[in-house]
Each structure stands twice: as structure tokens, then as C-alpha cells.
A = this chain, B = another copy of it.
């Protein structure tokens, strides 16, 4: 993309309403614009990152064997009356009446709707195991929306639901989700720690939240420092293998790690003192096993191998897709702006032309741009007339992990400059080598 043809409305001033760094930078980098309280428009740059995060979630869910679909945003109140949650949910549920005076609601979650789909179509244990998920906008009418997309009212969430014949199978689905979540967050450049959690209004016994450590996190967390050394990495996993998935759960949840809601001081004190940590964390996902809590009242049963109808064992598993943008920025920025991890960056690298209009500089930029594009990479080329300082400031603010700087002086020596946003280190090298390096970083074969 050439910047002169893009819509990137960066702000020089820090907007006064933004209290935390991710909200400030998302506004300043022209990623979002508030449409009304807690509701945002995703401007092109923000939308690109949102889509990248969504794509990682889709890939990892499907790798785990979970099946994508899509439920609507508006739901009928009737289903929620069946489960008993319509009255229980409180004022955070946005209740709507349509022109026929039917009670509707903007879904804050989808247990009822998915259970209804299941009970309408599945009647035999032979169709299990089954995990369906979707990525859809939700609404929660927060009394005081704040922190930008971190605590908005309209937010994008992945929620998945497993249906299993037995508790054991359902716990395997739980473990499968844990593994797929660890992989997803790592691909986004995040360390998200599974912590024993409170089940809240969805209900259930087994539940873990995934927390990203960050000073601005809303929860106080307590953990054994050994946990931050764990990496899922690129180890192979067979999602059908119960023992393998269970082993990952054990590895990642056997050490002490809890939020203030479930914190147990006595247990925590059994951790050797030098490994005890207290910090703040941002919740970016949660997995639940809740057994037959919805299948029983809603009659979601299957015929088992013995011919008896039994309610299915279920769980629900969520990732806060829009909130993740905030979490990633909270975890990865400096005082000049955002530092995107390579896995989610909106553009793979920036190209800064120090002297637009200079024939050699223009030609070199175009050639680098075309080479990167041919490799399937997407550069953002600042081809505007702005002065160099302003171009650097914008690139730093929007946080592309790599920048290639092209100027007449360097070109006379046959070199351009390749700069890492994270470390700030620069290196001079011929244009083709700069392209080659970017290609390597993103795992693309160079031409």
C-alpha cells in the first residue's frame, strides 16, 4: 500500500479521553474512532490488525478440529427464558423490542442459541464429539465503558462450544481448547498464562482464564515465576490424542497461577518465596467445562450406545478478539508508539522514501515495494512529501516491526537502511539483501 492512497489519519495530540497507553496509541495511530460510548469504528489500520488476529484464531481452531459457523447478533428472548438467564442476566444485557413487540436481545454470548441448534439437529452419540465455534460481534451494556477496545460495549469475540457424550470426552475438548489457545496467543506474540478462574454467570466447574501480564491489567494476579518460562513453541500435537492434550494442560496449569478472585494465600505460600510473583493481568480468553448445565434444562440429549437418551456434556470457550489489540499494545510498546509482533502486524514492513521526487530514490522504493509484494508480503510505502522526521515518527507510532529507509545518499553507496522497530538497531545493506532479510523474517521464499 502506498501511503498517499491510504487512509491513515494519525493524530499529533494525545486525546484527553484515553487513560491507558493502548487506547491512546490506537487513537493516535488512526486505528479506531469512537462512534458512541464504548462503540468503535475500526479505521483501515485497526481493521487490518483485527483481521490478522481473527485469521490466527480461525486457523488454530480449525487445526484443532473445531468447525466454524456464524450465529446472528440478535437473539430472541424466548431461548434465554428457557435457560433461565433472561431475568438473571441483569442490565448488561441489551434488551430490544422489535416492531412486532417481540422481546429480543443483542447476544452477550451464545450458549442458548448453540444448544438449540444442537438439539434440533443431533440425536445420536455417533455424531459426537462436536465442537462448533464462531467469531461474531457481541454487546455488553457496560455502565462505564472505558479503556478503548479493552472494555467496549460492542466487541468481537470468538466463542466455541463442545458437545460430548461423557465428562471425560468433554474434558478432552477442554484440554484441546487450552492447547489451541496457547498456540494462538503465542502466534500473536503474547504470553497468556492460564489461571484458575471463577466461573461467573456462565457457570461451571472447571475453568481457566488466560491472562497477559501488563501494568494496566484489570486483575491482580499471583503466580509462580517458573510459569513464565513455559513456551508451547512449535511442538507437534495430535489433537485427537487425549493423553497428549492432557499433558499440556498439566504442564501449563500445575504451577500456582490465580487471579484475585480465586487466590488462596495459604497455597500461594507453599511456592518458594523467591518464585512468588504478584502482578497485574489482562484477561484475553477463558475456557469452561459446565457439564449439563444447559443441555438438561434445554433438552439437548443424544441416544447413547445403550439406546438411552442422555444430556450432552458441554463447555464454552472464548477469546476476546477485539480486546486482544489492546492487550498486545499494552504488552508491546515504547514511548514512541506501538511495536507490533510480526504475527499480527498490519503491514510487514514500512518503506520510507527520504526524498520523494528524487529519481533514484523513487525507483529504488518502487523496486523494493514490487519485490516484497511479489513475495506475498505487504509493505506500507510512505511516498508522501512529508519531511523525514515526520515519516519516521509515523512509522514508529504505527509500530511496523521493520522499516527500510531509502535516500539518495545511501543509494550512491548502493545501500538502504533496515531498522528494527523493537531494538532500534539499523543496518546498511543493498536493497536486494534488505528484501531478502524481510522475506526470511516472515518465512517467505525469496525470489
- Inter-chain CA distance A102–B44, complex, in Å, is 28
Chain B residues with Cβ below 8 Å from A297 are: none
Sample of 10 A–B contacts (CB below 8 Å): A7-B69, A30-B121, A33-B117, A33-B120, A35-B71, A35-B75, A35-B76, A39-B72, A44-B68, A73-B73
Contact string against B for A residues 71-104, beta-carbon threshold 8 Å, 1 for contact and 0 otherwise: 1111110100000000000011010101110101
Give Cα A420–Cα B284 distance, bound, in whole angstroms: 47
A72, B121: Cβ atoms under 8 Å?
Answer: no
Q: Is A47 an interface residue (CB 8 A)?
A: yes
Q: Are A143 and B99 in contact (CB under 8 A)?
A: yes
How far does the alpha carbon of A304 sit from the alpha carbon of B21 in the complex, in Å? 36
Q: Is A440 an interface residue (CB 8 A)?
A: no
Q: What B residues does A141 contact at CB under 8 A? A: 98-99
Question: With a CB–CB cut-off of 8 A, which chain B residues contact A92?
Answer: 99
Contact of A50 among B30, B70, B71, B91 (CB under 8 A): B70
Which residues of the partner chain B approach A70 to less than 8 Å between Cβ atoms?
Answer: 41-42, 47, 50
A 231-260 contacts with B by CB, 8 A: none
List A134-157 residues whose CB lies under 8 Å from chain B: 134, 137, 139, 141, 143, 153-154
In A403-425, which residues have CB < 8 Å from any B CB?
Answer: none
Report the contact-size class of chain A (Cβ under 8 Å from the partner): 35 or more
In chain A, residues 268-317, which have Cβ atoms closer than 8 Å to a Cβ of chain B? Answer: none
Q: Which one of A70, A120, A134 has the greatest number of beta carbons of chain B within 10 Å? A: A70
A116 / chain B contacts, CB cutoff of 8 Å: 35
A71 / chain B contacts, CB cutoff of 8 Å: 35, 41-42
Q: Does A106 contact B (CB under 8 A)?
A: yes
Across the interface, A98 reaches (CB within 8 A) one of B44, B48, B94, B127, namely B94
Docked-complex contact A72 and B35, CB < 8 angstroms: yes
Contact assessment for B143 and A113 in the assembled complex, using a CB-CB cutoff below 8 Å: no
Q: Which of B41, B104, B113 contacts A113, CB < 8 Å? A: B41
- Residues in B with CB closer than 8 Å to A40 are 72
- Using CB atoms, name the residue of chain B closest to A132: B7
Q: A94 — which chain B residues lie within 8 A by C-beta?
A: 96, 98-99
12 new A-B contacts, CB < 8 A, other than A5-B65, A94-B96, are A7-B67, A9-B122, A33-B120, A35-B72, A36-B104, A39-B72, A39-B75, A39-B76, A41-B72, A43-B69, A44-B67, A47-B68
Distance A167 CA – B292 CA, assembled complex (angstroms): 62
What is the interface of chain A, defined by CB distance below 8 A to chain B? 5-7, 9, 30, 33, 35-37, 39-44, 46-48, 50, 65, 67-76, 78, 91-92, 94, 96, 98-100, 102, 104, 106, 113, 116-117, 120-122, 127, 130, 132, 134, 137, 139, 141, 143, 153-154
Of residues A7, A42, A73, A78, which shows the largest number of chain B Cβ atoms within 10 Å of its Cβ?
A7
From B96, B99, B102, B132, A91 is in contact (CB under 8 Å) with: B99
Contact A44 B132 (CB under 8 A): yes
A44 / chain B contacts, CB cutoff of 8 Å: 67-69, 132
- Known contacts A7-B130, A117-B41, A122-B9; A106 and B74 CB within 8 A of each other: yes
Is the Cβ of A43 less than 8 Å from the Cβ of B102?
Answer: no
How far apart are the CA atoms of A135 and B272 in the complex, in Å? 53
Which residue on chain B has the smallest CB distance to residue A114?
A: B41
